[in-house]
């Protein structure tokens, strides 16, 4: 079984930008009922479909599979709920830990969120100085909820 263990934080400064590696992400949801989400994503020049279970704290079931780029684009254009999520993901390494900093575009701008994936829910992680309040347990910040209620409408 695939498991995702992730903590999510707001970002309080631009200090993370030094050495960050960006990639454009476009994603949409075929299903986002709260318990289970089915997501289609184009990340750079690759397509993916992902099924996620309901979160239990920072943990949830996750299954992700590569799909043809043309299929991913067609599903995003014709099948996914609106609005789509578009963001620039920046990979940032701090103290040997990989952080994903997402700068949201369009309806979700100017939201910036940092995520760190863990190997265990109890894993300790040193927070970089640019990391702000934790929002792991706040459902408003899930990408599936941002597609239903964009940040600009809060």
Evaluated on CA atoms 136, 25, 144, 61, the torsion sign reads: negative
Nearest to 30 by CA among 69, 62, 87, 72: 72
DSSP for residue 130: T
First to last CA, the chain: 35
Tokens of 28: 């949409």
- Which of 29, 63, 141, 151 is the catalytic position? 29
Q: Which residues contact 121 (CB under 8 A, 6 or more apart)?
A: 5, 57, 58, 59
Known catalytic residue at 141: no
Contact criterion met (CB below 8 Å) for 27 and 85:
yes
Which of the residues are catalytic?
A: 29
């Amino acid at each position: 079984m695939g498991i995702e263990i992730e903590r999510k934080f707001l970002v309080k400064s631009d200090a993370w930008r030094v050495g960050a590696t960006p990639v454009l992400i476009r994603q949409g949801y075929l299903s986002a009922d709260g318990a289970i989400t089915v997501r289609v994503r184009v990340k750079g020049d690759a397509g993916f479909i992902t099924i996620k279970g309901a979160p239990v704290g920072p943990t949830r079931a996750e299954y992700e599979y590569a799909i043809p780029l043309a299929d991913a684009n067609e599903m995003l254009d014709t099948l996914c709920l609106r609005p789509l999520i578009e963001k620039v993901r920046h990979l940032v390494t701090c103290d040997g830990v990989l952080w994903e900093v997402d700068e949201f575009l369009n309806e979700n701008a100017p939201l910036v969120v940092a995520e760190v994936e863990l190997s265990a829910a109890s894993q300790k992680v040193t927070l970089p100085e640019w990391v702000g309040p934790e929002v792991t347990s706040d459902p408003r910040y899930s990408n599936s909820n941002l597609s239903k209620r964009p940040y600009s409408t809060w």
